[in-house]
Amino acid sequence: MLRVNDLTVRYGDLTIVDHLSFTVEEGQWLMIVGPNGAGKSTTLNAITQGTAYTGQVLFEGEDMKKRKAAERARSVGVLMQNHFAEYAFSVEEVVGLGRYAYSGSRRIADRDTASERKVAAVHLPRPAFLAGHSDEDEQAVERALTLTGMISQRKQSILTLSGGELQRTFLAQVFAQGPKLLLLDEPTNHLDLVYQKQVFELIEKWLQTPGRAVISVVHDLSLAKACATKVLLMNHGRKVACGPAAEVLIPEHLDPVYQMDVCGWMRQMLGQWNG
Amino acid sequence: MPENEDASGQQNRRRMGAVMRLRPDRFSLIEFVIFAAVTFAVLCLCVCIGSVSIPLTDTLSVIWDGVRYHLGRLGMAVIYAVSGSGAEAVGGAGTVPGGVSTTVESTGAAISGGTGVLASWLAAKPEGLQASIILSVRLPRVLCVAMTGAALALAGGAMQGLLKNPLADGSTLGVSSGAALGAVIAIAFGVRFPGLPFAGTMVMAILFAFLSLILILTLAYRLDYSLATNTIILIGVIFSMFVSSLMNIIVTFAADRIQHITFWTMGSLQGASYQNALVLLGALVICGSVLLRHAQELNAFAIGEDNARHIGVDVRRVKLVILVTVSGLIGVCVSIGGSIGFVGLVTPHIVRMLVGPNHRRLLPASLFGGAVFLMLADLAARTLLNPIELPIGVVTSLVGAVVFVVIFYRSRRHS
């Protein structure tokens, strides 16, 4: 589904990501782990064309660089770790923006099938600022709100939401966007345990539909061990190991990267609970 | 799981979708009519009141007669032009016998009918002291004031969305000062285009507005990628100071050409003409429609630039379009009325409290709100210290500075 070939990102003299290659297939949940500054978030940024890079990012065999912004958004969605709300948009306005990539007369040409194009052509041309949400858009928003449990708060201002609710709102936005590949940048970084569990369960459920895949950056190694179908361990912008969690998250790989006895420490931490 | 439902489920949802509409995120026609009516009422009020107060009914009838007079003349001109070309066409086709004669007759009938209707409708040119005060002094001025207010408020609203910063505005960022510098340079060094009297000033103002916007944003991005409020304000203040010192240097050397430096720094629409109003209208129609078309993109930016990119907004293109449009609006306004501060800050802020942050509602409401706000400010400038007239920028800055402090403190407490 996604193939990253020889990806290199440089900021001046600094090499953030160094000749990185990996693939993600349908149904997979790839977790990228590694210490701070390993280039994990930058890798995600390169996939969404948020930063300049050399190398290739192929989605379904097609170069992401050549895709238009809206087309890209219909295949790849992103959930970031923090959101700083400034204005009092309502929850449903934020979620409705997830449908941006499907709006407007500009997009007739890149509808997927001929019949869809015909349907679109009948309703158009209407300038984008007059065209409202289509029924299709409204259903997608409705579904996303229901799925994330934000439906009862749809009219609420995002300034009044808790951190977890805000994160669920943006999760609903990315669900409404209907991507095939979901990128998560430490999505539960400052959420409490309840919300962490909720968000991960939601994503697991989302992934059950065929034709979808998830890439997430996480810090919590035990989470990676529990949820990931594939783990990519990075250090200094380079790939250390990539494969099933059981093969990657082993002391031979982890200890040199984190420069400590990772597994021993984890056991010690968990031991506290058992005792 | 809702996504795996079958066809019947889909039908159900379709029906449900028809019932459960999303909140209407734009104004209805009726609301627009109300806004327009309120704006028009304020306009009439501002034309009535002044050093010589004229009763509302007299004002309205004078304006109505003036409109009729000019429309009538325009109509006559059109009819003559059409009938002239019609006669030519008939003359050319005259050699062809048959059906042509009927067209000739019907054209003639249409012309005489049209002139008859117009003649009955035509008013004499309104004359007298009141008429000349209203038609040649106050009406053009108030029209310019209204459209300047609308344009500045629109530009401010768009910038606050684009930069996700409620304090962004032409005056706080220093864009207005930049545009004023452009205008002053154009006058001091005699930049002009043949045949177009004030195009030189205007083009320079627009150009300098755009350049200063780019400069300020580049500096701000370098300093702080997230464009925090404090950074922007700091750079705006420094830039404005820098520009005003440059302006003073130019004025020192070309004092004979630029008599009223206060005009550019404080702004005034004293002596504005219909020609100015027409230019403003053009700028407002072009730039306004561009901005309104990008309302959804502005919403995305107002939530966050990264988020905008992720949902499929072509960030670079949209940003460039908005910045150019905003510079155009500010440049035109400054070249006509000088830099009138804080309109673009105050109006969208108040409007946002009333209609919410959605730019599909915010931008049109700011348009009307800005017009009303600046007309009232102009009225205050004209009448408060009668017979002394304050520069309009003094009034807006007085109000604006207070609102600025309120927003600033509120946003600081936020974060």
Q: What is the pLDDT of residue B270?
A: 80
Domain range list for chain B: 56-121, 138-414
Query: B292: which chain A residues are within 8 Å (Cβ-Cβ)?
Result: 129
Across the interface, do A72 and B312 touch by the CB < 8 Å criterion? Answer: yes
CB half-sphere exposure, A273, CA atoms < 13 A: 4
d(CA A7, CA A22): 9
Q: Give bridge partners of residue A2 from the DSSP assignment.
A: A24, A59
Give residue-wise pLDDT tens across range B73-97: 888 788 777 777 665 555 544 444 4
Per the CB < 8 A criterion, the answer to whether B325 and B284 are in contact is no
Identify the closest residue of chain A to B363 by CA–CA distance: A129
Separation in Å, CA of B318 to nearest CA in chain A: 11
- Put simply, whether A106 touches B (Cβ < 8 Å) is no
The CATH code of the domain that includes A148 is 3.40.50.300
User: What is the percent of chain A where pLDDT is above 70?
Assistant: 88
Q: Which residues pair with A54 in a beta bridge?
A: A8
Range of the domain at A224: 2-274
Q: Return the amino acid letter for A75.
A: S
From the list B25, B311, B356, the residue facing A177 with the nearest CB is B311
Task: Domain B138-414: give its CATH code.
Answer: 1.10.3470.10
Is residue A115 within 8 angstroms of chain B, CB to CB? no
Tens of pLDDT along chain B (415 residues)?
344 434 444 444 444 433 344 445 778 888 889 999 999 999 988 888 877 788 888 888 888 888 888 887 888 788 777 777 665 555 544 444 444 455 556 666 666 666 666 666 666 777 777 788 888 888 899 999 999 999 999 999 999 999 888 888 888 888 888 998 888 888 888 777 776 766 888 888 889 999 998 898 888 877 766 666 677 778 888 898 899 888 888 878 877 766 666 667 777 788 788 888 999 999 999 999 999 999 999 999 999 888 999 999 988 889 889 989 999 999 999 888 888 888 998 899 999 988 989 999 999 999 999 999 999 999 998 888 877 888 888 888 888 888 888 887 876 665 5
Domains in chain A, number: 1
Of A83, A142, A205, the CB nearest to B304: A83
pLDDT value, residue B107: 62
Interface residue A174 vs chain B (CB under 8 A): yes
Q: Do B311 and A127 touch (CB under 8 A)?
A: no
- At A121-160, the pLDDT tens digits run 444 444 444 445 567 888 889 999 998 889 999 889 999 8
| The pLDDT value given to residue B9 | 42
Binning chain B into helix, strand and coil, the percentages to the nearest 5 are 80, 0, 20
Taking the C-alpha atoms of residue A104 and residue A115, their distance in angstroms, rounded to an integer, is 17
Distance of CA B240 to CAs A121, B266, B397, Å?
A: 50, 13, 15
